[in-house]
Structure formats: structure tokens, C-alpha cells
């Protein structure tokens, strides 16, 4: 999951930004704060990967909240948002630790989307395709524990999976073979027909030769079984994937 906080007292702008982000990045978990105090409380309560922070808000100022966030969580990306493109505002935002600065009336959807996509491109993105809610949660928690910077999205069936693949463009797919209405292998053709083929890991409780043969036809890189060693198996897979990524990407 990719956690985003929009701290903005202008409800119209806040909701418009949330709607745009939800449409372009449906895997995002988006929270809102309508004043500085609420933003500070939400920031202290949990980690946010991305924060849109208005400078002028009731209560605590956006710059003060930015300083608090960056002091506690250097990995959080803070984008200061303001209606005033003034040199002193840009300087104050930079000194507060903000990573980006956008002006409301001048920043188009393309600019904001481009910024978010640049952030996502530096992170390893994983999609878990699994219909068992408890096992899917176990996998998500396991991945998040070992790789806190990883973006983890989830899908419970084939149709949802294809939608998530199109929006997230994951680097890693964890694909269970037993999905509602179809065998997980049926998804391999549309997945591998996509513009960019991710690393695919088949997860199953049945290690059958015919499953392996079919998966190999689609270039499946790994095949792991649902047993006590699955954590170690996945650590090896993700470790190899991270080792192959360019420096500065995680």
C-alpha cells in the first residue's frame, strides 16, 4: 500500500486532488487533514509515503508540520502546496525539509502525476494476487516487515489483478494458482502480453510438474510453495530483484 496524506484547509482543492490521485493511482490509501493540528496528529499516528502540505492552515502551520514529519520520518516525501509563488515561501519550504514545491494555480494534473510517478519509479512495487484474505495479509505483513519501502498492492481475483497491473505497473507479482473462477495460470497470457513484464512468482500448495511446465512457457522466474519456508523463499526472490536494480532505487 502507498499511503498519502493531503493536508489542505480548502475543501474544494483537497477533494479535487484526492479524486485525481484516486483515479490515477487506485492502489493509494489517501487520508485527509483540514487543518495543521489534524495533519500533525495523522502524521504522528502512521507513516505516509507522500504528503501534500498546504503552508497556510488553521492551527499549526504547514511548514511546522513538515519539519515534524521530516524529523521523525526522513523517508516521507513532502510536497508543499501553496497559492503564493514567492521566493521566501520556496526558501522556507526548503529549510523545513520539503522535497517538492507546487503552486496551486500553475501545477497541472500532468505535473502532479509526473511527480508521483517519479517517486513510484524509485520504489519496488509488488502486487499480491491471492483470494485468501488471511494469507494475503500474511504475505503483505511479511513483505512490509522486511522491506518497509516496498509498495504492496493486493488483488483478490483475476479481473481485479489486471486492473491493478495496469495502474501500478508492478516490478514483482506474487500469483496464487487457485483463484475464484479460474486457475491463476490463465492470467499469465494477458500479464505477459503487457508492455512491461514484471518478475512473476507462482505461489501454490501443489508443486506439480505440469504447473511448472505451463508457467515456464510464460517466462515465470520463480515458483514457491505454501509451507513454513515461504518467508525464506520470498526473501531470496526479493533480495535478487533488489540486487539487480540500479543504484539509488529500492
211 in the same domain as 198: yes
Nearest one of 19, 103, 6 to 57, comparing CA atoms:
6
- 248 lies in some domain: no
Rounded-to-integer distance, Cα 200 and Cα 178, Å: 15
Range of the domain at 55: 2-120
If one counts the domains in the chain, the total is 2
Given this model, what pLDDT does residue 249 score?
A: 65
Please tell me whether the overall predicted TM-score, pTM, comes out greater than 0.85 for this model: no
Q: In tens digits, what is the pLDDT along the chain, a chain of 250 residues?
A: 789 999 999 999 999 999 999 999 888 999 999 999 999 999 999 989 999 999 999 999 999 999 999 999 888 999 999 998 999 999 999 999 999 999 998 889 999 999 999 998 888 899 999 988 999 999 988 998 888 888 888 888 888 888 888 888 899 999 988 787 767 888 888 888 766 668 899 988 877 888 888 888 888 878 888 888 888 999 998 888 888 877 666 6
Rounded-to-integer distance, Cα 233 and Cα 41, Å: 38
Given this model, what pLDDT does residue 172 score?
A: 92
| CATH, residue 213 | 3.40.50.2300
Query: Helices (DSSP H) in 73-150: which residue ranges?
Result: 87-95, 109-121, 133-146
147 in the same domain as 80: no
128 in the same domain as 116: no
Given this model, what pLDDT does residue 105 score?
A: 85
Rounded-to-integer distance, Cα 174 and Cα 224, Å: 10
Distances (CA, A) of 247 to 38, 62, 120: 37, 32, 15
Amino acid at each position: 500500500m502507498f499511503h498519502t496524506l493531503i493536508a489542505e484547509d480548502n475543501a474544494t482543492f483537497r477533494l479535487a486532488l484526492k479524486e485525481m490521485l484516486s483515479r490515477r493511482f487506485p492502489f493509494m490509501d489517501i487520508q485527509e487533514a483540514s487543518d495543521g493540528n489534524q495533519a500533525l496528529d495523522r502524521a504522528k499516528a502512521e507513516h505516509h509515503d507522500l504528503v501534500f502540505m498546504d503552508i497556510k492552515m488553521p492551527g499549526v502551520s504547514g511548514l511546522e508540520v513538515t519539519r515534524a514529519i521530516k524529523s521523525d520520518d526522513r523517508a516521507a516525501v513532502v510536497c508543499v502546496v501553496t497559492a503564493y509563488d514567492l521566493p521566501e515561501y520556496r526558501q522556507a519550504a526548503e529549510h523545513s525539509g520539503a522535497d517538492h514545491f507546487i503552486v496551486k494555480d500553475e501545477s497541472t494534473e500532468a505535473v502532479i502525476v509526473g511527480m508521483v510517478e517519479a517517486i513510484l519509479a524509485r520504489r519496488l512495487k509488488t502486487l499480491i494476487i491471492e483470494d485468501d484474505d488471511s494469507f494475503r495479509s500474511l504475505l503483505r505483513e511479511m513483505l512490509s516487515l522486511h522491506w518497509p519501502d516496498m509498495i504492496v498492492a493486493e488483488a483478490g481475483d483475476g479481473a481485479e489483478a489486471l486492473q491493478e497491473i495496469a495502474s501500478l505497473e508492478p516490478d514483482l507479482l506474487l500469483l496464487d494458482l487457485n483463484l475464484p473462477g479460474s486457475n491463476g495460470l490463465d492470467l499469465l497470457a494477458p500479464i505477459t502480453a503487457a508492455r512491461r513484464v514484471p518478475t512473476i512468482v507462482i505461489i501454490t500448495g501443489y508443486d506439480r510438474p505440469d504447473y511448472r511446465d505451463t508457467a515456464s512457457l510464460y517466462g515465470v522466474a520463480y515458483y514457491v510453495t505454501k509451507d513454513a519456508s515461504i518467508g525464506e523463499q520470498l526473501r531470496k526472490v526479493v533480495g535478487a530483484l533488489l540486487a539487480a536494480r540500479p543504484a539509488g532505487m529500492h
